Amino acid sequence: MLAESRLSIFLLAIQIIFIILYGVFVDYDVAAGPKTNESNHEDVKEFEALYPMFQDVHVMIFAGFGFLMTFLKRYSYGAVGFNLLIAAFVIQWAILMRGSLHATGQIHVTVDTIMNADFAAGAVLISFGAVLGVLSPFQLLVMALLEVVVYALNEWVLADILEINDIGGSLIIHTFGAYFGLAVSLMQWRKGLKDNPKEGSVYHSDIFAMIGTLFLWLFWPSFNGALAASTPSIAQRCIANTIYSIVGSTIASFALSSIVNKENKLDMVHIQNSTLAGGVAAGAVANLYISPMGALMIGTAAGILSVVGYKYITPALARAIKLHDTCGVHNLHGMPGILSAFVAVVVARLSTTSTIPEHEIENIYPRVAVDGDFQHQANMQMAGVAVTLGTSIVGGILTGLMLRAPIITATEEEYLFDDKKYWIVEEEDKDETVKPLRDNMIPLTAAANGAQIAEE
Q: Give the pLDDT mean for 271-288.
A: 98
The yes-or-no verdict on residue 104 having pLDDT over 90 is no
Poorest-pLDDT segment among 114-128, 139-153, 346-360 = 346-360
Structural domain contains residue 447: no
Full residue range of the structural domain in which residue 220 is found: 2-421
**Position 1 confidence tier, pLDDT thresholds 50, 70, 90:** low
pLDDT of residue 32: 75
Does pTM top 0.85 for this prediction? yes
The yes-or-no verdict on residue 432 having pLDDT over 80 is no
Of the candidates 302, 4, 428, the residue with the CA atom closest to the CA atom of residue 12: 4
| Predicted confidence (pLDDT) per residue in 15-36, tens digit | 999 999 999 999 998 877 776 6
pLDDT of residue 111: 93
Q: How many domains does the chain have?
A: 1
Structural domain contains residue 21: yes
Contacts of 195 (CB under 8 A, 6+ apart): none
68: CATH? 1.10.3430.10
Structural domain contains residue 452: no
pLDDT of residue 431: 44
Structural domain contains residue 456: no
Q: Which of 45 and 25 is assigned the larger pLDDT? A: 25
Structural domain contains residue 190: yes
The yes-or-no verdict on residue 195 having pLDDT over 60 is yes
| Predicted confidence (pLDDT) per residue in 144-191, tens digit | 999 999 999 999 999 999 999 999 999 999 999 999 999 999 999 999
Structural domain contains residue 401: yes
pLDDT of residue 35: 66
Q: Give the pLDDT mean for 231-238.
A: 95
Structural domain contains residue 426: no
The yes-or-no verdict on residue 330 having pLDDT over 50 is yes
Structural domain contains residue 72: yes
